[in-house]
Structure 1
Amino acid sequence: MTPVTAFAGQTLALFGLGGSGLATARALVAGGAKVACWDDNQASRDKAAAEGLSVVDLATAGWSGFAAFVLSPGVPLTHPAPHWTVEKAKAANVPVIGDIELFFLERARIAPAAPVVCITGTNGKSTTTALIAHVLQAAGRDVQMGGNIGTAVLALEPPADSRVHVVECSTFQIDLTPSIKPTVGIQMNLTPDHLDRHGTFEAYGAIKERLVAASDIAVIGVDDEPSKQMARRRAASGKPLVKISGEQPLDEGVFAGVTANGGQLDTRIVEVRDGKPKVVANLAGIGSLRGSHNAQNAAAAFAACAALGLTAEQIAAGFKSYPGLKHRMEELGRIGRVVFINDSKATNADSTEKALNSFRAIFWILGGKAKEGGIESLRRYFPNIARAYLIGAASDTFAATFDDDGRVTYERSGTLDVALAAATKAALAQQGSDEIAVLLSPACASYDQFPNFEVRGDAFRTLVKALPGFEPVER
């Protein structure tokens, strides 16, 4: 835990008693503050009260006595309309902040030089966060990882000069962190997302840019135009900038060079300093970093870890031992040349696109509760599909797409176990020498057959491990 001493002796209001909310309340109390906690959910209030936290109805509280208001990032700050607690805070001139703001305030008090890496972007930030933390740990650094991934930031150990915090940040969190000032700030990419919470794409991008604008060293992806504009503004400021790309060579920065090799894609990470390019890592054979989308993730991780003093050799070694995230292009193991991939976290077409672009012979298991647009946007990847296996409620919709296109043969499997058995049998019978993938990448929510994507992915993993001849990947 990081006790927050910045508000010792003062009283704060807090709304939202989920995991991060409870961690924040504990950290404030441990630092000597008083906290008036509230949540619309009775069970959450009861849990907080059982811990000895002060539960106060903020609808009737006297807000003028609060030094600050800590809002859960899941609660609307501005759009589609400010939450009622936000309106009360503004009316009482009480600053509205989040848990990451409290972390940075505490860092400024106890260890202002403590290294902190913050990662944001529309896609890839979780993998990049986990990869950076892993590489640093593999090199012997004391690392704490959290924020929008895994552990709430205030549940981590406190900032220290010898400890690196690696923090994933959503726009919701950045919007509540006016004092954000990372040692290294990373902006991966920017495409329209969460517009219901930010109003416009421009507002969404502006919040992302706050993170890199305030960083000592900014690492910015330049594979999309909005992020490229951010990089230009950062360069014009004269502050340190490292450009990264997963798609194109750069005259300065870190980029990925992708080449075809025997039906697979080899990705080399190239660092360019003073106009001189040097290959610093090779992702070939690293199953947890396969695919062109991971090229940008690895480039960002290299730039961040190099900025913190790691050598290219240390970073490359860390890449090789990276186990990957569960349920996101997770390589489970093999039967001969057939590799089994758990991509259960791909709950929409945009996420599944990354997986379909990573293999050239795919036995694809998909379906569940379909999102708007279905799999129409994935047609360009259909030549990579050897056969598809439909499960769940989306079967009719996806079958119609395949019928209309005419390039994909498919089976209506209904359930995951039936689909896996059929896909495995067909994959093992496939002729040729190239790698073959049995891929669970549903492009759907799980709610028709599973409570969440984690349970779906765990079920797939259990079924795969029971296959005759299966050899799990070593981690």
Structure 2
Amino acid sequence: MTPSTTFAGRTVALFGLGGSGLATALSLRAGGARVVACDDNPARMEAARAQGVETDDLRDAEWGAFAALVLAPGVPLTHPAPHWTVDLAKAAGVPVIGDIELFCRERAARSPDAPFVAITGTNGKSTTTALIAHVLRTAGRDVQMGGNIGTAILSLEPPSAHRVHVIELSSFQIDLTPSLAPTIGVLLNITPDHLDRHGDMASYAAIKERLVAGAAHAVIGVDDAYAQAIAGRRTGPLTRVHVGEAGEGPGILARAGVVIDGRKAPAEPVADLAGIGSLRGAHNWQNAAVAYAVASALGVTPDAFAAALASFPGLPHRMEEVGRRGPVLFINDSKATNADSTEKALSAFQQIHWILGGKPKEGGIASLAPYFPRIAHAYLIGAATEVFAATLDGQVPYSRCGTLAAAVAEAAAAAERQGTTGDSAAEPVVLLSPACASYDQFRSFEDRGDQFRGLVRALPGLQPPGA
């Protein structure tokens, strides 16, 4: 745990007692603050009380007594409307911050030169965060990884000069972190997402920009217009990352699966991703190139970086290889909760038995039409079934399966028939990449992916990865 000592002797309001909220309450208390916590879920209030956290209904609180309101990132700050605690805090002149801000203040007070790598982007940030942490650990560094990727930042060990914090940040978390100033700030890409929480693309992009604006060194993927414009405004140290042909200025390049250091003359190949199953697809070229930009800035040699890539296990639920049965490869990409994320998976394979559906996002899957020729068959589940059926009609054969279990059974049988008859030189792939939120049928995308993994592993004759 990182005790949050910068509010010692003061009283702090906290709303949201999920995983990060409870960790924040315990961190503040360990640092000497009085915490008054609240949540709309009575069970979470009870769980917090069981760990010694003071709870109360903040509607009845004396807000003038609070030094800050610490808001969980899932609670609306501005859109579609501010949460009621935000209105009360602003009326009383109480600053509204998040747990990342508490970490930043603690770092500034305790060890301002402690290495802090912060990663954001619409897509790819979890894989990139995990890859950077893996490379640094393999190189012998003391690494703490967390934030939006799973472990609450204040549950990690405290910042120190010899410890690197590698932290994934969502736009919600950045919005609650006014003093964000990482050693290295990474912006991968910006495409439409979370507009219900930020109002419009301009506001969303501006929040993402704050992460690199305050960084001592910025690493920015410049293959979309928003990120390219942000790189153009950057005045401090900057490494541009290009996928495909080089764009404006020197940087780190990723071409045909090879990471190239284009900052040197002549440019030098650093690592080849061919054969690394956890880094399939062109989207992972960018992830690997960004990881090299960060690792090299922290002193990792090209040879050490290339060696670390080969042992990267990947992330659960993101292009995760579950196993093979005969000629059929099974891929769990449950983390693909929007069309842009699913595009990355579709681009990685040729003969796809695609399981998709759930709670649909704005825009649906129409943008994926260029990849429809790769789809051997689609298997629709959940609330999006009829909307997606209308998009696929006449372009991709599909089945209304309803449930994930039915979809896995039908897709596995069809893919095996295709592989056995040898209709294509490309291996058949059963791909769960839903392009939807999970909440219509599952607790989370993790729950959805876990269930898919369990269904696949129960298939007779399945061989695990690497077998």
Which residue does the alignment assign to 1:454? Answer: 446
Which residue does the alignment assign to 1:255? Answer: 253
Amino acid at match of 1:8: A
Which residue does the alignment assign to 1:346? Answer: 336
Whole-angstrom distance in 1 between the partners of 2:357 and 2:93: 49
Q: Is the 8 A contact 1:368 1:447 kept in 2?
A: yes
Which residues of 2 match residues 100-111 of structure 1 at below 5 A? 100-111=100-111
Q: Over aligned residue pairs, what C-alpha RMSD do you find? A: 2.1
Q: Is the 8 A contact 2:412 2:430 kept in 1?
A: no
Whole-angstrom distance in 2 between the partners of 1:451 and 1:68: 32
Q: Is the 8 A contact 1:86 1:96 kept in 2?
A: yes
Which residue does the alignment assign to 2:240? Answer: 243
Aligned in 2, Cα 1:142/1:447: closer, same or farther, shift over 3 Å?
Answer: same
Whole-angstrom distance in 1 between the partners of 2:79 and 2:392: 38
Q: CA deviation at 1:455?
A: 2.7
Aligned in 2, Cα 1:160/1:362: closer, same or farther, shift over 3 Å?
Answer: same
Q: Does 1:356 align with 2:346?
A: yes
Which residue does the alignment assign to 2:124? Answer: 124
Note the alpha carbon deviations across 1:6-61, whole angstroms, 9 max, x for none: 11111111111111111011001101111111122222222211211111322222
Which residues of 2 match residues 209-224 of structure 1 at below 5 A? 209-224=209-224
Whole-angstrom distance in 2 between the partners of 1:68 and 1:153: 18
Note the alpha carbon deviations across 1:431-466, whole angstroms, 9 max, x for none: 254433221223334455444332332222223223
Aligned in 2, Cα 1:117/1:363: closer, same or farther, shift over 3 Å?
Answer: same
Amino acid at match of 2:457: K
Whole-angstrom distance in 1 between the partners of 2:55 and 2:441: 37
Which residues of 2 match residues 322-341 of structure 1 at below 5 A? 322-335=312-325, 337-341=327-331
Percent identity of equivalent pairs: 62
Which residue does the alignment assign to 1:283? Answer: 273
Note the alpha carbon deviations across 1:49-83, whole angstroms, 9 max, x for none: 12111113222222222222211111222222222
Q: Which runs of 5+ in 1 are unaligned?
A: 259-266
Aligned in 2, Cα 1:430/1:308: closer, same or farther, shift over 3 Å?
Answer: farther
Which residues of 2 match residues 168-187 of structure 1 at below 5 A? 168-187=168-187
Whole-angstrom distance in 1 between the partners of 2:158 and 2:309: 27
Which residue does the alignment assign to 2:397? Answer: 409
TM-score by length of 2: 0.93
Q: Does 1:418 align with 2:409?
A: yes
Whole-angstrom distance in 2 between the partners of 1:462 and 1:78: 39
Q: Is the 8 A contact 2:328 2:416 kept in 1?
A: no
Whole-angstrom distance in 2 between the partners of 1:194 and 1:369: 14
Q: CA deviation at 1:429?
A: 1.5
Amino acid at match of 1:79: H
Whole-angstrom distance in 2 between the partners of 1:391 and 1:20: 31
Whole-angstrom distance in 1 between the partners of 2:439 and 2:10: 44
Amino acid at match of 1:473: P
Whole-angstrom distance in 2 between the partners of 1:86 and 1:402: 43
Whole-angstrom distance in 2 between the partners of 1:447 and 1:205: 26
Whole-angstrom distance in 2 between the partners of 1:99 and 1:393: 34
Q: Is the 8 A contact 1:144 1:157 kept in 2?
A: yes
Note the alpha carbon deviations across 1:396-418, whole angstroms, 9 max, x for none: 4444433322xx33445451342
Q: CA deviation at 1:143?
A: 0.8
Is the deviation greater in 40-49 or in 127-136?
40-49
Whole-angstrom distance in 2 between the partners of 1:20 and 1:374: 31
Which residue does the alignment assign to 1:264? Answer: none
Q: CA deviation at 1:179?
A: 1.2
Which residue does the alignment assign to 1:60? Answer: 60
Whole-angstrom distance in 1 between the partners of 2:363 and 2:174: 30
Q: Name the SS for the 1:6 alignment partner.
A: helix
TM-score by length of 1: 0.92
